[in-house]
A and B are shown apart, each in its own frame.
Chain A
């Protein structure tokens, strides 16, 4: 069974989707239960990965599977080539972990067309897992595109007032990037075949890592990949789809979008853009790091000014993911592992924040900060949980956010990005300002709005949703080693690989630029 663990995990939700499609349309509760069970089983299927100690010592791909898939004549081949290493391990687990929570959050929120929603959610899970485990670029692309359609529907059908605008914007932004990436993928493949890599290897990333792509070409290809992933992350200035999408999406959609879909972008950088084009990465690092820092500060400032809680959380994502990318571009172990951890943290904290926003929205059907105030008295459990998540999002020591952000800043400070780190640190302060200020306006003070008098505290289901998230807030905050020890070998390997290539490129450049001395012997 462990031979096909990854395939089983990836396609089990798809099987679940087919089952859901055959359930009667009116059986609302049954459909939700089946979906929940499917996502929970998927989580248990993926659980052996978390307990496998091989990741502590090996940087290689584990659980690999390989099968020939599409071949066209004697010039095109793509393979079903999957596996996990320390980089994708926790993201895969985050996906299978968040999905049951997201489904549970729909219990009351989704009351129309339940069947379609659940089918799409399961399709989305397959697509996300597939993208994380793909070792063939083409396969990755197929899963990457497959993610778009369900999310597009989730926003477009179950969204708020401006859902059409938001969903089309989401789709078009992502599609622009991914089509450019497709051209770049074809180009890399074409290049690899031209330099003599046998075409049967398909779009295998491992083989593409060894290519020596000339500088100029590398720059263009990197830009295409980087642009595509930057939209997904999202980095400033291509982030504008995110607040719209988040504001309009239903709670479950927001949770999945924030917790997992955004990670596709950052994961794409770590897995594809940077190791495939290390020299171009070096060239563009100052530029991209500048965008990260702008994103951190700008996201925080805009978040501060928001009147809608959900929009505030959305903009805080822009800021947080700026941190993640800064850590990745630092290209040392602290920065990269901090960045990777912060991806998980962001998934947990921001996922939780969207759930919290969902809770109060379900009760009051508004998300405007001015409508609230002083509701901590009415909802003590809710207030506690909200506070913990708020603090974790700010990065208070002892919570998960602290470990990630701290490592990122240390990593960036020790790399060439020292001054970027210094400026980015102000983002931490801004984060404290906008989160705490929001918490204060919503939760504490006097209960002024009479509509809030009748608010009920969280029910058992809602507490059950939040508990696992709280567990990980503290687990990562107090003992992050569980996570680091399994991703570090892969990250070290990645850093060595990238640095080695960058150094070779620099030496070649130095030799080329050195003045040629002509020694004339008389």
Chain B
């Protein structure tokens, strides 16, 4: 690795070195606010570095890209990490969680996401994925006072280990078949005359199972609601956005660089997409706990994202990136809202707890409404434009049936998002007092809502950017 590559790697280096430093400092100095503030500064510095430093080389160590696509997502995950840390301050305080460990783990996770999104080789994908998954194993179970948290951590650990196994084996098979780890050569090497070699197909299948676990595609989604319910809310806000978004970004990168024909994979993905959208939406309909509901909502969203990938067109991939970004903003905002209402671990979970909260806290009620409408895909929010772009691409790619099934799923989704919104504004005299939220938490919410509305009204801003950065 030479100096050029190190310059290109600056954002990631800032994140890792910052995380290590904070971990060390945290061992001696336990004050929460300086540590977390330090973490936020590190994350913002990394974001700034990703934005400003022109990488002198296109690829780092043959494993990670440093092109505009990689920089965009590095920036995005670093900013998300900063927002998540801003959300976590009060939680860390109230639950007496070691701030140094927490902050550095969030930063390490962001590092992993940045690496994963910019991976240009199968090894890079594996490294990036494991880097943030390992952080999450600890983060999910970091609250030792809470049994649910431990249960969620164990569940995520077991599922994650299985997924890792599948991934390693799948990558092994792909390597055996194509003789290269590097993308896109590894993908081109899998093909003979437009069709996948059998071992290649098996390898892809294994890889897809692992990815399916990570972004919770049906039938690999079963861990999601339990983990979301049990884990600390600020952690979930990162788990729901960063970990899924980074895998999705890597997947989009794979599709963008890979060969045009996917042979038998297409039908497999088709089935996964339909199952994920419909089963996710139907299960969400049954939920009475807000975090479980949002968990299933994220399942549906990942299914819709697959529709964009299946288009196998540039429009589809552009729409996919837009979708990921918008989903992340809205989802982060929703969990941030739950976190801002929590007081010493007592947060409104069951839908019954939400009755009338919209009147008690009108601003945050309005914020949640906008965010949920974006997740549901109603104009004038960004969620509508995202969904529209995906279905637009699907129709252009002659995937009418897929678009119609997706629309059916959106329709079912409307029902459960609306249920929450209406509960929020159902008159209730006995509405419980909740925490009024810190200024920092309100800032996070304001950023998310602004993003959702801005990209809803002038989506061209983001679309043009994505059009330029997509490899």
Binding site for B on A (CB under 8 A): 25, 70-73, 75-76, 112-113, 116, 141-142, 145-146, 148-149, 152-153, 156-157, 164, 167-168, 171-172, 175-176, 179-180, 182-183, 186-187, 190
**Which one of B54-62, B182-190, B410-418 is at the interface?**
B410-418
B136 in the interface, Cβ–Cβ < 8 Å? no
What 6 A-B pairs have minimum CB-CB distances, sorted nearest first? A72-B463, A142-B379, A179-B407, A73-B467, A156-B422, A145-B379
Instruction: Given the known inter-chain contacts A142-B380, A145-B379, please indicate yes or no for A182 contacting B391, CB distance below 8 A.
Output: yes
The dominant DSSP class at the B interface is helix
How distant is the Cα of A71 from the Cα of B379 in the complex, in angstroms? 16
Q: How far is the CB of B85 from chain A (nearest CB, A)?
A: 32
B359 in the interface, Cβ–Cβ < 8 Å? yes
B411:A75 contact, CB within 8 angstroms: no
**Which one of B67-75, B169-177, B276-284, B381-389 is at the interface?**
B381-389
B346 in the interface, Cβ–Cβ < 8 Å? no
- Residue of A with least CB distance to B369: A149
Instruction: Given the known inter-chain contacts A146-B380, A183-B395, please indicate yes or no for A167 contacting B459, CB distance below 8 A.
Output: no
CB-CB under 8 A from B359, the residues of chain A are 113
- With beta carbons under 8 angstroms apart, the residue of B362, B389, B395, B414 that contacts A171 is B414
CB-CB under 8 A from B426, the residues of chain A are 157, 164
CB-CB under 8 A from A70, the residues of chain B are 385, 458-460
CB-CB under 8 A from B418, the residues of chain A are 152, 168, 171
How distant is the Cα of A162 from the Cα of B78 in the complex, in angstroms? 47
B378:A179 contact, CB within 8 angstroms: no
CB-CB under 8 A from A75, the residues of chain B are 315
B395:A186 contact, CB within 8 angstroms: yes
Q: How far is the CB of B83 from chain A (nearest CB, A)?
A: 26
Instruction: Given the known inter-chain contacts A70-B458, A145-B378, please indicate yes or no for A76 contacting B392, CB distance below 8 A.
Output: yes
Q: How far is the CB of A165 from chain B (nearest CB, A)?
A: 11
B379:A146 contact, CB within 8 angstroms: yes
- Residue of B with least CB distance to A113: B359
CB-CB under 8 A from A183, the residues of chain B are 391, 395, 400, 403-404, 407
CB-CB under 8 A from A168, the residues of chain B are 415, 418-419, 422
Q: How far is the CB of A170 from chain B (nearest CB, A)?
A: 10
CB-CB under 8 A from A176, the residues of chain B are 411
B460:A72 contact, CB within 8 angstroms: yes
Q: How many residues in B have their beta carbons less than 8 Å from beta carbons of A? A: 36
CB-CB under 8 A from B389, the residues of chain A are 72, 76
A112:B407 contact, CB within 8 angstroms: no
Instruction: Given the known inter-chain contacts A156-B425, A172-B415, please indicate yes or no for A182 contacting B407, CB distance below 8 A.
Output: yes
How distant is the Cα of A187 from the Cα of B385 in the complex, in angstroms? 16
Residue from A141, A148, A172, A186 with most neighbouring chain B CB atoms (10 Å): A186
**What 16 additional pairs, Cβ within 8 angstroms, besides A72-B389, A179-B410, A186-B388?**
A70-B460, A73-B318, A76-B389, A141-B379, A146-B380, A156-B425, A157-B425, A157-B427, A168-B419, A172-B411, A183-B407, A186-B391, A186-B392, A187-B400, A190-B392, A190-B396
CB-CB under 8 A from B380, the residues of chain A are 142, 146
- Residue of A with least CB distance to B403: A183
A72:B459 contact, CB within 8 angstroms: yes
15 cross-chain CB contacts under 8 A: A70-B458, A72-B389, A73-B315, A75-B315, A116-B362, A116-B425, A141-B379, A142-B380, A146-B379, A171-B418, A172-B411, A179-B410, A183-B403, A186-B392, A190-B395
- With beta carbons under 8 angstroms apart, the residue of B395, B411, B427 that contacts A179 is B411
Instruction: Given the known inter-chain contacts A70-B459, A72-B459, A156-B425, please indicate yes or no for A182 contacting B318, CB distance below 8 A.
Output: no
CB-CB under 8 A from A116, the residues of chain B are 362, 425
B9 in the interface, Cβ–Cβ < 8 Å? no
CB-CB under 8 A from A186, the residues of chain B are 388, 391-392, 395
How distant is the Cα of A76 from the Cα of B388 in the complex, in angstroms? 11
CB-CB under 8 A from A76, the residues of chain B are 389, 392
CB-CB under 8 A from B15, the residues of chain A are none
How distant is the Cα of A473 from the Cα of B380 in the complex, in angstroms? 37
CB-CB under 8 A from B422, the residues of chain A are 152-153, 156-157, 164, 167-168
CB-CB under 8 A from A148, the residues of chain B are 378
B392:A73 contact, CB within 8 angstroms: no
Q: How far is the CB of A144 from chain B (nearest CB, A)?
A: 9
CB-CB under 8 A from B460, the residues of chain A are 70-72
How distant is the Cα of A180 from the Cα of B410 in the complex, in angstroms? 11
B433 in the interface, Cβ–Cβ < 8 Å? no
Instruction: Given the known inter-chain contacts A72-B389, A183-B395, please indicate yes or no for A112 contacting B459, CB distance below 8 A.
Output: no
Q: How far is the CB of B371 from chain A (nearest CB, A)?
A: 14
B373 in the interface, Cβ–Cβ < 8 Å? yes
CB-CB under 8 A from B414, the residues of chain A are 171-172, 175
How distant is the Cα of A153 from the Cα of B373 in the complex, in angstroms? 13
CB-CB under 8 A from A141, the residues of chain B are 379
Enumerate B82-129 residues with CB–CB distance to A below 8 Å.
Answer: none
CB-CB under 8 A from B419, the residues of chain A are 168
CB-CB under 8 A from A25, the residues of chain B are 362
Q: How far is the CB of A160 from chain B (nearest CB, A)?
A: 13
- Residue of A with least CB distance to B398: A190
- Residue of B with least CB distance to A164: B422
- Residue of B with least CB distance to A142: B379
CB-CB under 8 A from A73, the residues of chain B are 315, 318, 463-464, 467
- Residue of A with least CB distance to B395: A186
How distant is the Cα of A142 from the Cα of B362 in the complex, in angstroms? 25
- Residue of B with least CB distance to A176: B411
CB-CB under 8 A from B384, the residues of chain A are 142, 145
CB-CB under 8 A from A182, the residues of chain B are 388, 391, 407
How distant is the Cα of A442 from the Cα of B425 in the complex, in angstroms? 36
CB-CB under 8 A from A113, the residues of chain B are 359, 425, 427
CB-CB under 8 A from A187, the residues of chain B are 395, 400
How distant is the Cα of A72 from the Cα of B410 in the complex, in angstroms? 23
Q: How far is the CB of B450 from chain A (nearest CB, A)?
A: 16
- Residue of A with least CB distance to B425: A157
CB-CB under 8 A from A172, the residues of chain B are 411, 414-415
Q: How far is the CB of B390 from chain A (nearest CB, A)?
A: 11
Q: How far is the CB of B308 from chain A (nearest CB, A)?
A: 13
How distant is the Cα of A141 from the Cα of B378 in the complex, in angstroms? 11
CB-CB under 8 A from B425, the residues of chain A are 113, 116, 153, 156-157
How distant is the Cα of A116 from the Cα of B421 in the complex, in angstroms? 14
CB-CB under 8 A from B388, the residues of chain A are 182, 186
- Residue of A with least CB distance to B365: A116
How distant is the Cα of A456 from the Cα of B389 in the complex, in angstroms? 57
CB-CB under 8 A from B379, the residues of chain A are 141-142, 145-146
CB-CB under 8 A from B396, the residues of chain A are 190
B378:A180 contact, CB within 8 angstroms: no
- Residue of B with least CB distance to A145: B379
